[in-house]
Chain A
C-alpha cells in the first residue's frame, strides 16, 4: 500500500522524519519496504498484512502513527449543505442479494462540472502512483485511498430508469468495464444493474457506458459493503482486479461505508460544484453488535514475559482507539472499534499491546532450563551412513520429489501402483511424485556429464512416495540411492561397508532380479536375512543410450529404514587376536554355475576347527581354464585363540575342506 508522507500529516501531527516514520511503522508491524522522494513529498510503500484491512487507507496508518507518537488522530469533517430535493424522488435502489451486499448507500449530486482536478489533488494521487482522470473520479479514488472504502460514481442519466438493482447476473449477460476488458457473466456473479443491464461488476469495476465523462451532470455515488469471499471469487473468475476488489476481499469497515460516501459527496460539491440531494439511500442489513473483550493483566504479562501495569496497558489500547468499558483490579473490559475485525479474543489484545509496547522492549532473557532428549536413532544412522559415503568419495545430492510423467515407466521397483499425481502441477508433464530416486540420480549424472564430468559418484537419501489407499496417507519410503561408476562389486562393497559399520549381522543376500533398467546379468534384488532390502544393478545399454552416457553406471536403491531398525550401536569390544594366523591361499576350478555363496556355504557348514575367516580374491575365466569352468581364488585364515597353530594341523583342515568341496560341488584344486 502506497502512502504519501505529506498527506499522512492531515490526520496526525507528528515531527517524524521519513526514516523515523519508516522505522516506527516497521516496528509496529507495518513494514515500509521503500521510501521514494517525489517532489517535496515521499511515497512510502507499506506492507500491510492480511489481518489489517483497516490499514489499507492512509487514515488507518495515521491512526497507528498517532499511537506511536502519542499524538492526536484527526478525522476530517463530513458535514455539508444539501438542496431541498429529496433523493427518494431521484433514484431507487433494490438489493436482491442481501447476503452478498449487506450494506448499500447512494447519494446524488446534481449539476456537477466535470473538469481536471485541482493541482493539489492531482499531485497527491500522483505521489501514490495513481493517474488523475477527472475531478469526480479522482475524488472517489482519493477517498478510497484515504479511508480504504471503495466508492463508485455513475452518470445518473445513463442509468436506465435512473435506478439500481444489486442482483446476480443472468447467464451470458455482458459488460465492458472501464478498463476496456469485456466481462461475460455467469449466474453466480453479483452485478450492479440498472433496470435493464449490468452497469458494474459489484465491488470490482464499473462499466464503461455509465462512467463519469465530460458530459456528465448528475452523479450517482455508490458506497457499499460487498461480501469478501464473493468478491474474490468473481475477481478470479473474471480475471480482473482493482484497488476496490483488493479492499472488499479483505473486508472493509461496514461503519465507514456512509462516512466515505459523505466525505466524497462533500468533496465533489466543493470541487466539482453541483448540489447534494437531501438524504441518503442506506440499505443496511448488517447487524453488528459492539464487540467487547476482556483482558487480564496477568495473562498479558505472563505471555509476554514483561511487567506492565494496568494503566500502561489502558493507555496503549486507548491510543489505538479501543474503549475501556469497565475494569477490575485484575482485568479490563475493552470495546473494539468496528474497523478492527481482527480483534475478538484476549490474545488479540495482548498482541496489540505487545506491538505498541515494542517487541524490542521485551528482554531476551530466559530460564528455560535443561531438557534431555531421547536419542534419535534415525539421525544417528543417517550421520554414520553419510560419513561412510563421504569417506568413499561419494557426494550427496538433493533432487526434486516431483518428476516427469515419463518416469513412471521404469519406476516399479518398490511398488507396481501408479505414481501419485499432482492435480495442479506447474507443468502438466511434471506431475508425479517419484517412486524411485534412480532417475533423479541419472539426471544429475547427465547434468555433470554435460559439464565435462564423466564419473559422478553420488547418492541421495530421501523419500519416495508409494501407492495411495483411499483417504489414507501414502507410504513415504526413506531410500538411500547410490550411483557409482566402478562396477557392480565395488558398489556392493559400499553397501557391505555400511552394513558392517552399523553392526548389522543379517547376511546380505543377492537374488537375480529382472528389470527394464538393469542388464540381465548384473541385476539383483538385495535382501537382509529374508527381508527385501533393495535393488542393485548395472544400467542396461538402452538406458545408457537414452541418457547418452559415455560410461555405464551401477545403481542401488536401499530401504533406509531397515538400516535404522537393524543398526546396533551397543556392540561390544572384541580383543584383537594375540596369536598369529595361518593363511592358505587356494585357487580352485569350479563349474561356471557354481556361485561363491555355494562355495562359502559348503566350507562354513563343515564347521572346521580354527577356521577364522574366508576371504574371496577373484574369479578367472580364460585360456588356461576349461570351457564352462572358472577358477576361483580365495584365502582361508586359521587361527586359534590360545596358541600358535602348527602348519601340519592346518594341512589336515585344508584337506577336509578341499575334499568336501570336491564331493559336494565337484570343485578341484587348481594345479
Chain B
C-alpha cells in the first residue's frame, strides 16, 4: 500500500506535467484528490488495516495530499509562464463555472498589514514637500555639536541663559547636543556661497523635564534663504505661502516683533486658532492665536561669522517645531505619545 501511494504521487506528477491548461490541471487534481479520486479510493481501505499500519498510511496519505496540492500549484504557476491562460487569484476558490452557490458578499475583505510612517516623519515630509515647491533644498547636520555652531556663530552672547546647563545638554570635550537646528544654517553657509535656499529638519535636545508639553528630545525644521536683496517681504511671502498650503487658506497668519540672537528684525508667527475660529479657547489661551514659528532677517553678525558680506547679502531664517505643528494638526494633547510608539497610536496616521 505504501508503494501504491508513492506510485500515485509519481503518476500525478507526470499527469500534471502533461496538463496544458487550467482545465486539464483541475481534471488531474480531481482524479487524484477528488471525492472519487485515486487517493480517496486508497483511504477507503484504511479501516481494514492493523493499528500501526493505519497510522503510517494515514500519515503518508496526508503528506501525499499536501504534496500533490503543491504540485498542482506549481503546475498552475508554470502554466502562467508558458501559456496565455490568465493567472488565477490565490487564496480563494474560484468558481470558473457557475455552480449556482451562494457567496456571502458582506463578508469583510481580507486585509494585508500596512505599516504607517511615524506622524513626525509625515509632518516633516509634508513640510519638505511644500518648501521644495518654493525651491528650498533639504540639508542635514550633526546632532552632537560644538558650542561654536550652537551659540557663538549664531550671535548668542556668552552669558545668554540658553547656554546654561539647564537649557543645553553638555558632553565631554566642550561638545553639546544641539538645542536648535539653526546650527545647520552655519554649516551650510560655511560651505556654500549665496544664493542659499534650504530647510534642515532634525532632532534637537533640551534638558526639560518631560511632561505633556515638554520632551528632552524633539524635532525642528530650520529654514534659510540668503541672496542679494532678500527682504522681510520675501520672508512674509514664503511663510504665508507655507501656511496657506499647510494650514489652509482660511487660516490667518500674524507676524509680531520678537527677539532671537541670530535674527534682526525678529518675528514670532502665529496662526489664527482653528479650534475656536479665533474666538478664544484653552488651546490658544483665549487669545485666538497660536504660535507656530519663529523667524527673522539673518543678523549681520551671523553673516560675519560665516564670511558673507552683510552689505551685499541679506536673508531670512525661520524655525518651527515639528511636534507642535503635528499636535495642532491632529489635536494631540500629550507630546509623550510620539515617543511611546504605541501601535494603536501610530496606526492612526
Query: C-beta contact mask, A443-461 vs B, less than 8 Å → 1, else 0?
Result: 0100110010100111100
Which of B116, B140, B207, B256 is within 8 Å of A31, CB to CB? B256
| B23 close to chain A: CB less than 8 A | no
Which of B115, B255, B285 is within 8 Å of A395, CB to CB? B115
Stretch at the interface among A165-173, A261-269, A417-425, A520-528: A417-425
A424 touches B135 (CB 8 A): no
Which of A355, A363, A379, A400 is within 8 Å of B339, CB to CB? A400
B144 touches A354 (CB 8 A): no
| A351 close to chain B: CB less than 8 A | yes
Query: C-beta contact mask, A335-375 vs B, less than 8 Å → 1, else 0?
Result: 00000000001011011001100011011111011111110
Q: Take A302-B314, A347-B300 as given contacts and tell me if A365 and B265 are in contact as well, using a CB distance cutoff of 8 Å.
A: no
Report the separation of the CA atoms of residues A374 and B138 in the bound assembly, to the nearest whole angstrom: 10
**Closest chain A residue to B236 by CB distance?**
A364
Chain A residues in 8 Å Cβ range of B82 = 580-581
**Closest chain A residue to B253 by CB distance?**
A364
A371 touches B140 (CB 8 A): no
Q: Interface residues of B, CB < 8 Å — how many?
A: 87
Chain A residues in 8 Å Cβ range of B286 = 34
A396 touches B231 (CB 8 A): no
Query: C-beta contact mask, B115-146 vs A, less than 8 Å → 1, else 0?
Result: 11110110000001000101111101011111
| B172 close to chain A: CB less than 8 A | yes
Which of A378, A386, A581 is within 8 Å of B140, CB to CB? A378
Query: C-beta contact mask, A388-421 vs B, less than 8 Å → 1, else 0?
Result: 0111111111111110000000000000000011
CB interface residues, B 83-132, toward A, < 8 Å: 112-118, 120-121, 128, 132
Chain A residues in 8 Å Cβ range of B146 = 473
Report the separation of the CA atoms of residues A468 and B142 in the bound assembly, to the nearest whole angstrom: 13
CB interface residues, A 450-487, toward B, < 8 Å: 451, 453, 456-459, 462-463, 465, 468, 470-471, 473-474, 476
Chain A residues in 8 Å Cβ range of B136 = 373
B137 touches A468 (CB 8 A): no
B342 touches A476 (CB 8 A): no
Query: C-beta contact mask, B135-176 vs A, less than 8 Å → 1, else 0?
Result: 111101011111000000000000101000110011111110
B138 touches A368 (CB 8 A): no
**Closest chain A residue to B63 by CB distance?**
A624
| A597 close to chain B: CB less than 8 A | no
Chain B residues in 8 Å Cβ range of A476 = 142-144
**Closest chain A residue to B347 by CB distance?**
A395
B117 touches A390 (CB 8 A): yes
A474 touches B144 (CB 8 A): yes
Chain A residues in 8 Å Cβ range of B341 = 395, 397-399, 444, 447-448, 458
Q: Interface residues of A, CB < 8 Å — how many?
A: 88
Report the separation of the CA atoms of residues A390 and B258 in the bound assembly, to the nearest whole angstrom: 42
A368 touches B237 (CB 8 A): yes
Interface centre among A379, A453, A457 (most CB of B within 10 A): A379
**Closest chain A residue to B112 by CB distance?**
A393
B172 touches A421 (CB 8 A): yes
A375 to chain B, nearest CB (A): 10
| B262 close to chain A: CB less than 8 A | no
Which of B234, B266, B343 is within 8 Å of A456, CB to CB? B343
**Closest chain B residue to A398 by CB distance?**
B118
Report the separation of the CA atoms of residues A270 and B255 in the bound assembly, to the nearest whole angstrom: 46
Between A and B, 6 residue pairs with Cβ closer than 8 Å are A28-B257, A306-B232, A345-B300, A365-B237, A386-B121, A426-B216
Question: Which A residues lie at the B interface, using CB under 8 A?
Answer: 26-29, 31, 33-34, 49-52, 228-229, 232, 302-306, 345, 347-348, 350-351, 354-355, 359-360, 362-366, 368-374, 376, 378-379, 386, 389-402, 420-426, 433, 444, 447-448, 451, 453, 456-459, 462-463, 465, 468, 470-471, 473-474, 476, 580-581, 583, 585
Question: Which B residues lie at the A interface, using CB under 8 A?
Answer: 74, 78, 81-82, 112-118, 120-121, 128, 132, 134-138, 140, 142-146, 159, 161, 165-166, 169-175, 177, 195, 197, 203, 205, 207-210, 216-217, 225, 227, 229-234, 236-238, 240, 254-259, 264-268, 285-287, 297, 299-300, 314, 338-344, 346-347
